[in-house]
Structures are given as C-alpha cells and as structure tokens.
Chains A and B, each alone.
Chain A
Amino acid sequence: MLKVDHIDCFYGNVQVLRGFSLELRAGEVLCLLGRNGAGKTTALKSIMGIIKPRSGHILLDGTDLTELPAHDVPKQGIGYVPQGRRLFSELTVAENLQIGLMTRKRGAATLAHVLELFPILRERLDQRAGTLSGGEQQMLATARALCLEPRILLLDEPTEGLMPTMIAKILEIVTRLREMGVATILVEQRVESALHVADRIAFIENGRSAEVVAPAALREDPGLLHHYVGVGIRATR
C-alpha cells in the first residue's frame, strides 16, 4: 500500500536517512523501533513531505508522494500525529478538529464519528487546546488526524509522557482503528507498547532500514531488541 523506496534525507549537509526503505501493508499496524536519532521521526516527516528526500521514492498505491507539494500529501489520506502533539494550542478543541476536517473537506458526520472514539473531547469543544491535560491533548492530536478519514495514520511517540491508563487508552484506539481498516505506522520508544499492538516490527539503525520481524519473534529472541534499541524486554503485558 505505502512503499518507501530507498530514500536519502538530509538536514543541511547531515545525512539522516540512508537508502531507507519500508513497506506498509493495508490495514496493518507497523511499529518502527530504533534508538534516539536513528531517523524514526525523519522517516515520518519525509512521508508527509515536510522533508523532501534527495533521492528515492515514496509510493502510495502508485502515486509518488515525493512529487507532490507538502500540503497535498495529507489530501491523499494520510493523517499525521506529530511528536509532542503540536496542537494549535491557542485555538479551541473544535477549531483544531475543524482544521483536520478541512484537509479533505469532511463534515459533521466524520466529526461525530471521531467524537464517538473520544467522548471526552465532546465536553471540551470550546476549551483552548493548550489548557487540556497531556492525555487529552494526545487524544485531540489523534482525533485531529482522524478527522481527515485517513487510510494511513502516522503516530509519532503517542504515549510519550502519559500515565499508564492513558497509554492503554491510546493503544486501544490504535487497535480499534486497525479493525476499521486504517493502516498505521507507529513510532515508539516503549517496547512493551509496540509489542502489544504491532503486526510487524521494523527496526531502523543509523538511518538504514534493518530487520522486519513479527512480535512473537522478539519475545523469543530478546537479543534483537538489545541490538537495535539497547534495552532488554520487560514484562510483556
């Protein structure tokens, strides 16, 4: 469905991604794991067109996303939940969602559907986004991305800084979205979370794509995690 094909990305003269490749299949949750600075966020940003690869292609069902201007990429049906949420914090919750709806010209029906997934946001519609709690902000960032009815969802460390009940809630949403047929790329630091929801796990090392494995394989061979992420596996939930 989405095929990242040998892309090279730079910040100025510093190369961050080196011939990076990735394939996302329809309806799956693919977890991208790697150390800090390995290029996980850059990979998502290059899919969104925020960073243009110097070479290589990103194909979504045959359309080359690298040839589109950045603001046309989300219109192909890609919802982005950036790291640190990046809400429009001075705008209200309703206005943040409105921005999401406008991306692909969706209306009240989509909004109602999204608010069903996040009922708490319905009570907060007129509140400024910056005044929400951390967990609510993460829900809003996710809801905003869902407002464009994405085929693909890119989640960059959605559980960062949240308390455990909220993490469980976010992961539950990811699972429900998979049931609805949304394919997801999940960037995670928390290995337990990744193992919990992922269909496949792709490792990234120094900007290069490394092995892609099934979660079960990781449970059997914790050495992989140690190699790529530098942690041992804790109790899997």
Chain B
Amino acid sequence: MDLGPHLLLALLEGTVAAFVLAVTALGLSLVFGVMRIVNVAHGEFFMLGAVLAWFLTSLLPEMPFWGFMLAIVGAPLVVGMIAVMADALVLRRLNYEPEATIVATIGLLYILQQAVLTIYGPDARPVVAPISFRVQFPWFGYSGYKFIAIGAAALLLLAAWYGVTRTKFGLIMRATQFDRETAQAFGVPVKLVYAAVFALGAMLAALAGVLIVPLQQAHYLMGLDPLLLSFIVVIIGGLDSLKGTILAAFIIGISDGIISVFFSPTLAKIIATLAVALVLVFRPNGLFGGRSR
C-alpha cells in the first residue's frame, strides 16, 4: 500500500481508539473531579464491562444483535451496582480521604481482577460484533462495526456533556465538586451524589469495555492499558477539565493509532508517557486545566 491509504487506515484505527478512550477517561475524570478520588480500579470496571458482555452475549448465541443490546444495557448496570457497593463498603468508610482511597482502590483492582480470574478463567474470549458488514475503500475493506463503535461513543460523550452542563443532576454534581459543605447546607445529599458519581464513572468505563470487546476479546488483564491511557489523558487534559480530558483523549488516541501503525505500539506508549512527563514539568495543571485549587 502507498502512504496515503496507509495513513487513512492509521487514522481510522486511531479514531476508534480515541473515542473509546475518551469515554473511559471521562469516567475517571468525573470521579476525580467531584470526589477527589484517584480511582486505580477504573480499568477493572472497563474489564468487567467486556467480560460481562461476553457472558451476556453468550446467553443469546443465535442472536448476536440482541445479545449485544443485552450486553450494552446489562453490563453497565451490573458494574454500576458493584461500584455502589464499593462506595458504601469501602470509600465511604474511609471518609473519601484522598490518600486512603488510592490504596483502597488498588486493593479493589486486585479483588476484581482475581475474582474474574477465578470465575471466568485466564482465557481471552471473543464476542461477535452485533452487525457484520464491511466498508469497502478502494485500497482496503474496513470493519463496519468500528464505525458503529465510533458513533455510539460519540453519542455517549454528547449525553455526558448534556448531563453535566444542562441537567439538574449535573448542576448538583458541580456544586458538590466546588464546595461539598455548602452544597449540603443547601439540601444536597452529598453521600448520595458521591455514590451516583462513582457508579456513573464506573458505568462509562464499562460501556467503553462493551464497545471495544468485539474488536479485542475479553480477558481478565485487559484493564491495565485503558487505566494507564486514561491517567495519561486526564493528566494531559488537566485534572478539573472534562473538555480537556476529551481533547487529550483525541490527541493521545489518534497519535497512538498512527504511531502504532507506522512504527510500533510500544513506541506509541513511550511517547504518550513522555508527553505526560513534559506536561507535568511545563504545564502542571494540564494543557486545558484552570488554576490549581
């Protein structure tokens, strides 16, 4: 292939990665922004989404489309419930102390990972895409499902943006983020908001996991890469900026795609990590972050 088609392929791969990454990182950013919790177990919610998608689609082996619909509704719900339990049993009891919750979510990471290893096993299992068609370019054919994944992720991002900026719950969430005590003095049930935000963050990761699993197979260790990339994106974008998170996801996702196709995935990760180091040195609040608070 010539350079042109090659670049197009790399761009397409990068765009899929970028959209899925944006959804995952948005969940991490939301939880950190509102609750000041660095959720090290975030990647495991992504993994749980994928594994549950495998389980739910396997319930309807004859009907891949409906199986997938079941997965895209069911997996985030189950993951959301697990997150609510983790909030009530662990985070709330630590009073949401930033340092303590880092250690606690590391523990949560291992509990979830090992539980999946015990129940689901060490194999990587495929999930059939809900729709199989190919988009034929003059130089190569491309999986149609990848376009569906891009569209679904874009819808999720739009919904999240609308939810945060235009709804009552979004307003309550932002008020809690800026001043928890004062929000409470105006009738905001802060504990409930925290539980909801933690669940929402986990559900976004799970949805990303469901969207990616037809392209990647479900495996109990698949949460590590999205965790690392989400942290990279959230730091580059700025810790308090949802907009920055999404823009950084596109920068990292697309450059990751291009570098992976032309050079190697390892080089892509090296460059992304280097970018984080440079951002931390020269723009500690991130490219799009506001003042430090």
Interface residues of A (CB under 8 A from B): 48, 50, 69-75, 80, 82, 86, 88-91, 95, 98-100, 102-104, 144, 148
Contact = CB atoms under 8 A, between A and B. Distances in A.
Contacts of B171: 91, 95, 98-99, 102
B172 interface: yes
Sorted from nearest, which 6 A-B pairs have the closest CB atoms? A103-B187, A86-B182, A71-B189, A80-B185, A88-B178, A74-B187
Interface in B239-261: none
Interface string B144-178: 00000000000000000000000010011011001
Chain B CB within 10 Å — which of A80, A99, A103 has the most? A99
A102 B170 CA distance: 13
Given A88-B175, A91-B175, A99-B175, A82 B186 contact: no
Contact of B185 (A82, A90, A102): A82
Interface of B: 168, 171-172, 174-175, 178-179, 181-190
Q: Which of A69, A88, A148 gathers the greatest number of chain B CB atoms within 10 Å? A: A88
Contact of A91 (B174, B187, B190): B174
B190 A71 contact: yes
Contacts of B174: 88, 90-91, 95
Given A71-B190, A88-B178, A90-B178, A102 B172 contact: yes
Nearest to A147: B186
Contacts of B186: 74, 80, 99-100, 102-103, 144, 148
Contacts of B182: 82, 86, 88
B178 A48 contact: no
A166 to B, nearest CB: 22
Nearest to A103: B187
Contacts, number: 61
Given A102-B168, A102-B172, A50 B185 contact: yes
A48 B185 contact: yes
28 contacts: A50-B185, A70-B185, A71-B184, A71-B187, A71-B188, A71-B189, A71-B190, A72-B187, A74-B185, A75-B187, A82-B181, A82-B182, A88-B174, A88-B179, A88-B182, A91-B171, A91-B174, A91-B175, A91-B178, A95-B175, A99-B175, A99-B186, A99-B188, A100-B186, A102-B187, A103-B187, A104-B187, A144-B186
Contacts of A80: 185-186
Looking at chain B's contact residues, is the secondary structure mostly helix, strand, loop, or mixed?
A: helix
A67 B38 CA distance: 33
Nearest to A144: B186
A203 to B, nearest CB: 25
A89 B184 contact: no
Contacts of A48: 185
A133 B171 CA distance: 23
B184 A50 contact: yes
Contacts of B185: 48, 50, 70, 73-74, 80, 82
B238 to A, nearest CB: 14
Given A95-B171, A99-B171, A102-B172, A70 B178 contact: no
A95 B165 CA distance: 11
A91 to B, nearest CB: 6
Nearest to A104: B187
Contacts of B187: 71-72, 74-75, 102-104, 148
Contacts of A91: 171, 174-175, 178
Nearest to B187: A103
A89 B182 CA distance: 12
Contacts of A103: 186-187
Contacts of A75: 187
